[in-house]
Amino acid sequence: MTTAPVPRLLVVHDDDLGMRFGGDHPTDRRRHQLAVALCRESGLLNLAAVSTAQAPGPMPDEGLERVFAPAFVRAMHRYSRTPVLAAEPEARQWGIGGDNNAYPGMHEDSARVCAACALAAAAVADGRARSALVPAGGAHHGLANRAWGFGIYNETAVAIQTLLDAGLERVAYIDLDVHHGNGTQWIYYDDPRVLTVSVHESGHHLFPGSGFPVETGGAAAPGSSVNVALPPFAGDDAYRRAMSRVVVPVVRAFGPQAIVAQCGVDHHHADPLSHILTTMPLYPELWRALRELADDTCDGRLVALGGGGYEPCTAPPRAWAALAAEMAGVAVADPVPESWREIALAAGCPEPARGWLEDPGPAPDHDRDHAAAAAAEEAIHLTVTALARFFPVLV
């Protein structure tokens, strides 16, 4: 009797995953729908090294309560069943209102993405897959008792907790989204089993206003929190330097048994919610660094989640499909499939790209870019200084 080979990559997805806040809310589900469509039209999902799974039903309350306060979970049920109650002042203490407006089925939508992330993490933990990708996952602002930042439940924390509950003793969390991964950091701030590393636009300029180098872990877990707070307009090279000079060395020194990565691309220059000005050619470099880091430190055990990206037709679909390709161990080549361009056109994308890395880039500004490069270098230096006593390898 022969045993089927373990897939190199498990993709967990269905097109109904994601929040439905409605109106002109930035969380447009086309971003991950089109990413998976590009994987499919490119033939990635047909590879022997790749398997797929439908997202399961909502995570049961007992699973959610491994991360979140039971009273918070009860409150989310309440506002999901009866959204009009979100008008009461008490709803604000739970983070309901504004960016996270209540609607029927809100709890179920968020709990279903959590279940998808847990399925992916469990498959990696027990060896059913070497790595896993959930393009619709990645909400990272929510606290244990509060919704925050375009999400109800913190999906990245669910993935981490699933790995811990499976018996892993060291999990590294790498957050490349332009917004600080504050919720995940604070949930695990006093847990020495979890290293949280976030590269983002400085909280001096961008939501959620945190993620400074001095945030290095709680009293029970000193050195477990790493933050690189980049200046506006920092661009591709700043992310490259942050990865090579901070992220890779500290994760190697930590020696994780698995990595969870939040792979938001809302730092792209076309994104309406940030100012970092990265471009498409950067993303394959980031994904390669993540994959190589996982290969070198934890036998490839990588759970990758989507995250931010609020111009749904531009960066997210190609970036996350390229992430899938990197995790599957294959290369993609231009042009993108014409069949995918037709799908994107039908989805309302006016001019779908013809190349995987096609990107005009931001308008050049020598003075702006020179000043941003110097400020980015200083930001990385501040992080290295804050962490040197915990990670001598940085010095």
User: For residue 5, what are the contacts with CB-CB under 8 A and spacing of at least 6?
Assistant: 48
Angle formed at CA 90 by CA 72 and CA 17, multiple of 5 degrees: 45
Per-residue tokens: 120: 């992916």
- What's 146's DSSP letter? B
- 3.30.70.20, 1.10.287.4070, 3.40.50.10860, 3.40.800.20: which CATH number matches 9-56+111-394? 3.40.800.20
Question: Are the C-beta atoms of residues 81 and 125 closer than 8 Å to each other?
Answer: no
Cis peptide before 335 (omega within 30 of 0): yes
pLDDT in tens, 85-134: 999 999 999 999 988 999 999 999 999 999 999 999 999 999 999 999 99
Burial, 29: exposed, middle or buried (Cβ in 10 Å; 0-12, 13-18, 19+)?
middle
Question: Are the C-beta atoms of residues 173 and 122 closer than 8 Å to each other?
Answer: no
**DSSP result, 25-86:** -S--THHHHHHHHHHHHTTGGGSTTEEEE---SPPPHHHHTTTS-HHHHHHHHHHHH-GGGG
Q: What is the pLDDT of residue 5?
A: 83
Which one, of 199, 23, 196, 53, lies nearest residue 137 by Cα? 53
pLDDT average, residue stretch 153-170: 98
Beta bridge partners of 305: 134, 262
pLDDT average, residue stretch 320-325: 98
Please state, in angstroms and rounded to a whole number, the distance separating the CA atoms of residues 45 and 40: 5
Q: What is the pLDDT of residue 154?
A: 98
pLDDT in tens, 181-203: 999 999 999 999 999 999 999 99
Return the domain boundaries, the chain.
9-56+111-394
Which residues are tagged catalytic?
A: 141
CB atoms within 10 A of CB 389: 12
pLDDT in tens, 137-151: 999 999 999 999 999
Question: Are the C-beta atoms of residues 177 and 140 closer than 8 Å to each other?
Answer: yes
Which one, of 149, 157, 183, 162, lies nearest residue 308 by Cα? 149
**DSSP result, 248-297:** HHHHHHH--SEEEEE---TTBTT-TT----B-TTHHHHHHHHHHHHHHHH
pLDDT in tens, 228-259: 999 999 999 999 999 999 999 999 999 999 99
Question: Are the C-beta atoms of residues 70 and 145 closer than 8 Å to each other?
Answer: no
3-state secondary structure of 315: helix
CA dist list (Å): 369 to 202, 236, 315, 361, 363: 16, 11, 21, 13, 10
Q: Where are the beta strands (DSSP E) in 74-137?
A: 131-134
Which percentage of the chain shows pLDDT scores above 70?
99
Q: Residue 225 is inside which H or E element, if any?
A: strand 225-230
Question: Are the C-beta atoms of residues 320 and 135 closer than 8 Å to each other?
Answer: yes
**Mean residue pLDDT across the chain:** 97
